[in-house]
Amino acid sequence: MAGQSSRRDFLQATAWGSALAGAGQLGFLAQLPKVSAAEARLAAAKVQFDTGIEPLVQLLEETPRERLLEEVGARVRGGLSYRDLLAALLLAGVRNVQPRPHVGFKFHAVLVVNSAHLASLASPDEHRWLPIFWALDHFKEAQSDDVREGDWTMGAVDEGRVPPASKARAALVEALDKWDVEAADAAIAGLARSAGADEIYELLFRYGARDFRDIGHKAIYVANSRRTLDSIGWQHAEPVLRSLVYALLCHDGTNPATADLEPDRPWRENEARAAALRGQWLDGQPDDAATRELLATLRTASAGEACDQAVALLNRGVAAQSIWDALFAGAGELLVRQTGIVALHAVTSTNALHYAYAASDNDDTRRRLLLQNVAFLPLFRQAMGSRGSVKEWPIESFEPLAVTASGGEAIGEVFAELSRDRQAAASKALAYLQSDAPAAALIDAARLLIFLKGNNSHDYKFSSAVLEDYYHVSPAWRDQYLAANVVQLRGSRGPDNRLVERIRAALSGSVPA
């Protein structure tokens, strides 16, 4: 709590802090029910299904987009809890938005729920409603898109096909291996009613990482769904898990179980590589030279060649953290080399795979997740090549560009520059971070600018991943990592999100100007 207060004081003591506060626009938030950090945490329990939240879900589904924020704002002022709203938002998304033909596009309304929640968790209490209200409006947009594409709605489970508890896990594995949508839907319903969260997600971590279709969105959905369920409660798990399994089985038309398809090869090939890792592979020593060595390989090698080198490094006694440092830094480097949607997902999928790696307690799963992430970065690099030129930019050569101000004003200079010159802003961010100024203040400023300036789901997905992973990167690399990713954040000179004034009015009960 003291750390959060000092960060807030640092910003508010500067002219930049006043600018971030929106010139008083957000002061009304202090009058709303506070959302404490503790409220977002709930002990895990056995998965069960509870329809008690149905009326709120229906409100989100049925209220027109132009009135939803006002309707929900009135309920917040009347005592609606953050957790219930978060739960209803996720459930409305999984029931109304189909993760087809791709696990992306309109389905970001579901994928972004956890990212908005992470932004809320990391914010001062008085700002915690803002990301969720943005996500409410985004849901309505996706719902409309889904209606135009055929108006899909999740149907009831075929109860006649639901296996008994003793057979549910085996039935799910068989269905997932065969890419059998109907059998998998029934099996996950049975498993949701009988198994614990850790058992279910230990299995789904693997299936989320097994193929490169949809540029990492499957792994992202696995991680984000688990994290949101941890906060809203496992009584809501069954429909979320049904949606997740449906998404994991998305493919391009040819059943992957009956064909040798490129997106599936790394997973199959990494089975043997994972088995070849030494028994004590987690007991290695940090090795900065190894991180640099793997980074150099990731720039030019194939997925298989990169994985072979990762295995060799780990068997040489290099710490797994040094491999992760190369992956985090390599993903950020790709974004500078070609700022855009593909490289962005190299960053967010690395965040998701690292979460799954940290959450898993199965040694083979952890081996496979690490190696899959190694394989994915060359695949992202190759996908970028089909979208235009990919410049050469090794992150080790990243040079700082001095800022003329200090303290909070230096942060203002970084984000003002970001609206003019992304590369220069990244270099100024590096200078700031290397000056012993508090990184947390820059992170807080970046997050609040997403609240005020962000206008799409990737603003939330990307920023939540990067600002979290700053602390997962070793100190020797974290400044370069965060500074490189500044290129995809929001500058202070951009226009405000069109929803800012409407959210302010909805939560304060005032009439928009």
| In-domain check, residue 9 | no
- Both 126 and 196 in one domain: the answer is yes
- Both 252 and 269 in one domain: the answer is no
Q: How far apart are CA 15 and CA 408, in angstroms?
A: 7
Q: How far apart are CA 119 and CA 459, in angstroms?
A: 11
- Both 20 and 75 in one domain: the answer is yes
Q: Which of 37, 65, 230, 60 is nearest to 127 (CA)?
A: 37
Within 8 A by CB and 6+ apart from 285, the residues are 317, 318, 319
Q: How far apart are CA 238 and CA 50, in angstroms?
A: 9
Show which of 203, 223, 256 is a domain's final residue. Answer: 256
Tracing tokens 């965040």 back to the chain, one arrives at 351
Helix runs in 386-455, H state only? 407-418, 422-433, 439-453
Q: State how far the alpha carbon of 50 is from the alpha carbons of 45, 54, 117, 234, 480, in Å.
A: 13, 9, 22, 9, 46
- Both 110 and 244 in one domain: the answer is yes
Count H helices and E strands in the chain, helices first: 24, 0
Cβ(82)–Cβ(132) under 8 Å? yes
Q: How far apart are CA 500 and CA 308, in angstroms?
A: 49
Cβ(193)–Cβ(48) under 8 Å? yes
Q: Which segments of the chain have a pLDDT < 70?
A: 1-51, 511-513
Q: State how far the alpha carbon of 447 is from the alpha carbons of 36, 60, 211, 363, 504, in Å.
A: 18, 26, 31, 35, 18
| In-domain check, residue 423 | yes
Q: How far apart are CA 11 and CA 345, in angstroms?
A: 30
In this prediction, residue 122 carries a pLDDT of 85
| In-domain check, residue 501 | no
Widest Cα–Cα separation across the chain: 69
- Both 63 and 108 in one domain: the answer is yes
In this prediction, residue 511 carries a pLDDT of 63
- Both 27 and 149 in one domain: the answer is yes
| In-domain check, residue 391 | no
- Both 427 and 456 in one domain: the answer is yes
- Both 75 and 158 in one domain: the answer is yes
Q: How far apart are CA 198 and CA 361, in angstroms?
A: 9
- Both 282 and 419 in one domain: the answer is no
φ and ψ at residue 212, rounded to 5 degrees: -95, 10
Number of domains the chain contains? 3
- Both 425 and 296 in one domain: the answer is no
In this prediction, residue 50 carries a pLDDT of 57
Cβ(509)–Cβ(31) under 8 Å? no
Residue 429's domain comprises 398-488
Tracing tokens 């389905």 back to the chain, one arrives at 107
- Both 285 and 432 in one domain: the answer is no
> What is the secondary structure of 457-468 as a DSSP string?
HHHHHHHHHHHH
- Both 67 and 143 in one domain: the answer is yes
Q: Which two tokens stand for residue 170?
A: 């085996």
